[in-house]
Structure 1
């Protein structure tokens, strides 16, 4: 457990161990989420990445993409189609 003090301006210095665990760097934005009566602090970039991962879940299988070679082949086909048009 870490402890931090709130300044008169409402600012808090996030302890280094917490910043490391959340992957927070200078200039990053922090997201505060209330859930089930608790407030969670998240690295907003990591939260956006997780949301994108959830949104794309199952798409590779739906498209028949099983490995990197399948992805590269799909990209090649899309590029060829765009050149023909």
Structure 2
């Protein structure tokens, strides 16, 4: 591992095996918060690849997609959300 500027910025490398498999270095796994059985997502953007924790990526994507929806529905408080959920569940 080669330090670039501080402990939060570093480089690391791994060898690509015959089937395209790569072992993610331990320090990178720790930063991503992934372990055995977890999934990672490869985000490719104009020749740059970013590896992210799939669960974190999915949650961020969902949040981005739902941004502004509460306002559209007139939900301004937790009670508004609870009332909506009760009406959807037909609990009135």
With the shorter chain as reference, the TM-score category is: 0.7 to 0.9
Match of 1:36 in 2: 46
In the aligned structure 1, how far is the partner of 2:31 from the partner of 2:76?
32
Q: Which has the higher helix share?
A: 1
Match of residue 76 from structure 1: 86
Alignment-derived partner of residue 15 in structure 1: 25
Where does structure 1 lack aligned partners over 5 or more consecutive residues?
A: none
Q: TM-score, normalised by structure 2?
A: 0.69
Higher relative contact order (CA 8 A, sep 6+): 1
Task: Give the structure-1-normalised TM-score.
Answer: 0.73
Displacement of 1:51 in angstroms is: 1.5
Task: Deviation per CA, 1:42-83: give whole Å up to 9, x if none.
Answer: 2222222222111111001111112222111111122226x8
1 CA distance for matches of 2:79 and 2:58? 27
Higher strand share: 2
Aligned to 1:48: 58
CA RMSD in angstroms comes to: 2.1
Which whole-Å CA distance do the structure 2 matches of 1:17 and 1:67 have between them?
A: 41
CA–CA separation in structure 1 for the residues paired with 2:49 and 2:18: 21
